Every structure is written in C-alpha cells, then in structure tokens.
Structure 1
Amino acid sequence: MGPLIPYDIIPFEWSSIIAIIIGLCFGFILEASGFSSSRKLAGVFYGYDFAVFKVFFTAAIVSLIGLLYMDYLGHIDISMLYIHPTYLWGAIIGGAIMGIGFIAGGFCPGTSLSAVAIGKIDAIINVLGIMVGVFIFSELYPLFEPIYNGYFYGNITLEDSLGINPYWFVFILTIVAIIMFAVTDMIRKRVKKVFY
C-alpha cells in the first residue's frame, strides 16, 4: 500500500485487503455524500449544485499538497510516481464521450457503481451502457487504434508544460480553486433564483 504502511508492520500480502477496505470506505462516503444521486451529479452541468466539483477539486488539491509534503519530508520520491502518458486526441475524444455520457446518464463511472450498489435502476442502465461501449471499443479497436495510440506527448504534467515550480503551481492552483468556489456559489445562487 505504498510508503505510508511499512511492510515490517503490515505484511505485503495484506495490500489487496487494505485496498478493498479503502475502496469500500470510499464507496460508502460517495453514497453518504449523495454522489449516488444523478440529480446531484448532473447539477454541476446545469448550475444548481456544485458539490461534486468542490469535493473533487478539494480532494485533488489536498492530495497534491500531501504528496509534496511527503516528498519534502522524504517519505516518498515524487519523481518516481507513475504519470499516465498523454495521447492528445484520444484524451480529447474520450473526455468528450465521457462528458456526454455524464450529462445524459447523470453518472460518472465511479459514482454509477456506487449507485448500483444501492440498487438504483438508472445507474444499472448506465453501467450496462458503459459495458456496451467497452465491448464496441474492444471489437473495433483496430479502427480506433491510430487515434488511441497516436499524438503521443509522453508522461507530461501541467507544471512541466508550463515550466513552473511544483510548489508555485500548487499555490496558484489553490488560489484558482478558492476563486472558482466563490464563482460557482454566485452561479448557483443566480440559477436558484431563476428556477426556484
């Protein structure tokens, strides 16, 4: 489970069990926070509920700050972390497809599984749609392969692309998050006045 659980305290064999427990806790928190509700999730796109945006943006920033602190304290080597490779057009097209699916179905893949776990029919249909999409993609992979593996930009990060120090990047991103939270609150209040 990484550097925070030394193997002399918890054996390596327990890693999968710990991962399952963390996953169950994450799913429970998603459901308890209302993220298994398609109305709450779709609210981001319609401007009446930005809870999902705020929670995930906050989680990303807290994780990033935590990683930088752990690197600074010598608990991890941030340069050794895996960075998913960037395939530009595959990412753009895939992101567009997921965004359309998110708006149409009201779920992202993770939240749809959380909603399936509590028996929501719309989430079950959403997950079946995901499975059909995966099947079609796998069957037509030779057709999609040039886009999927094309336009390779390497294992880049935003801070590398901008040429900015990671600590300054996190600081600026935190300020941007605070501004975005204030802006989304103004949007939510305005949309609430119009529709309610």
Structure 2
Amino acid sequence: MGPLIPGGYIPLEWDSIIAIFIGIAFGFVLEASGFSSSRKLAGVFYGYDFAVLKVFFTAAAVSVIGIYYMDYLGYLDISKLYVHPTYLWGAIIGGIIMGAGFVTGGFCPGTSLCAVAIGKLDAWIYVFGIMVGVFIFSELFNLFEPIYDGYNFGNITLIDSFGWNPYWVIFIFTIIAVLAFGIADLVRKKIKSVFY
C-alpha cells in the first residue's frame, strides 16, 4: 500500500489501521449520501436519479485535475504512478457481469457492503451472490485463466496510446462532465413529469 504520509512521520505499520479508519469514514459518507439504497443506485439506469453519475464524474474530474496539478507543481511525479495492466477480455466480460449485477441488484460491491452494515436484507442476498460468484470463479480458475490473462495490453492509458496532450483530455473530460450533469437534470425532470 505504501506510506500514507511519506517522510517517516507515521510508522509504516500504522498504514493498515489508518486505512481501516479511512474505510469507516468512506462507508459513513456512502450511507449519509444515500448510496446504501438500491433504488437510488439503480435510478441512474431508469432515469429518475443521477446522483451516482454526478458523484463518479465529480470524483474522476477532481482526482485527475488534482493529480496533474500536483505533477505540474512538482509535488508528484505522474510517471511513477502505478497503472493497472489492461486485460481486454477480462475487462469486457467483467464489465458486463458487473453492469448486469448492478442493474438487477441495485448495488455495486462496495455499496452492497455498506447496505449490509445497516442490515438491509436485499444487500445480504446480493453479497451472498457475490460470494457464490467468487467461489465459482476461484474453483474454476483454470478454466477461466486464458480469458483472465488473455489479451494483456500492459500498463497503458488512452493518453499514452493515442499520444494525446493530457491537459486537453482533462479539459474535454470536464466539459463532458458538465454536459452530462445538464443532460441528466433534463432527463430526470422529464421522467419525473411523466411518472409523478
């Protein structure tokens, strides 16, 4: 995981304890935001609640702007950041499974655990399904391994692959986020006027 605060001010052994408290705070924020509700989470797919879309777009935009700004100021070397390798078929199939589970169950893995913590029965069933899926995948891993490890494109990013200027990509992404917020509000109002 690496030191949360570099420079030796906090011993490395404390990282896991600090991470637990960060996790608890994150769970509290999820619950306080209503993200333990499957109706709120599934609302983005049905057009009546776009809070999830707005939160994820905002988180992505703030993160990428912050990272590149810190790199620009010299506080961070972006070339040293870890980029998870891209396994094409694993990502496509995993995305389809995750998306189908999200639409049908109304949770993602993280929000389902948040809902379990407050005792929601549908979340318990959802997490049980996740555990069954993990068990099947681990028991049949030899069968799935060619797909799991196949088409490894390495540690690539869109910016590196296409040779794009990262600052223009961030600017365009931010414009897309703002447009998505506006379109989401228009769709929500339209759906609300039809059904309510």
TM-score by length of 1: 0.95
Give the C-alpha shift of residue 86 in structure 1. Answer: 0.7
1:94 counterpart SS class? helix
Contact 1:89–1:148, Cα closer than 8 Å, also in 2: yes
Which amino acid is 2:128 matched to?
A: L
Which amino acid is 1:148 matched to?
A: Y
Count of equivalent residues: 196
Contact 1:36–1:114, Cα closer than 8 Å, also in 2: yes
Measure the CA separation in 2 of the matches of 1:139 and 1:4.
Answer: 35
Mark the runs of 5 or more structure 1 residues left unpaired by the alignment.
Answer: none
1:10 counterpart SS class? coil
Contact 1:3–1:75, Cα closer than 8 Å, also in 2: no
Query: Root-mean-square deviation (CA), in Å?
Result: 1.4
Mark the runs of 5 or more structure 2 residues left unpaired by the alignment.
Answer: none
Counterparts of 1:35-54 in structure 2, within 5 Å, are 35-54=35-54
Counterparts of 1:24-39 in structure 2, within 5 Å, are 24-39=24-39
Which amino acid is 2:20 matched to?
A: I
1:9 counterpart SS class? coil
Give the C-alpha shift of residue 77 in structure 1. Answer: 1.3
TM-score by length of 2: 0.95
2:153 counterpart SS class? strand
Measure the CA separation in 1 of the matches of 2:8 and 2:29.
Answer: 30
1:116 corresponds in structure 2 to 116
2:188 corresponds in structure 1 to 188
Measure the CA separation in 2 of the matches of 1:191 and 1:162.
Answer: 38
Measure the CA separation in 2 of the matches of 1:4 and 1:12.
Answer: 8
Contact 1:4–1:75, Cα closer than 8 Å, also in 2: no
Runs (4+) of structure 1 moved beyond 6 Å?
A: none
Measure the CA separation in 2 of the matches of 1:189 and 1:99.
Answer: 25
Counterparts of 1:1-196 in structure 2, within 5 Å, are 5-196=5-196
Contact 2:3–2:12, Cα closer than 8 Å, also in 1: no
Contact 2:84–2:155, Cα closer than 8 Å, also in 1: yes
Contact 2:4–2:15, Cα closer than 8 Å, also in 1: no
Percent of counterpart pairs with the same letter?
74
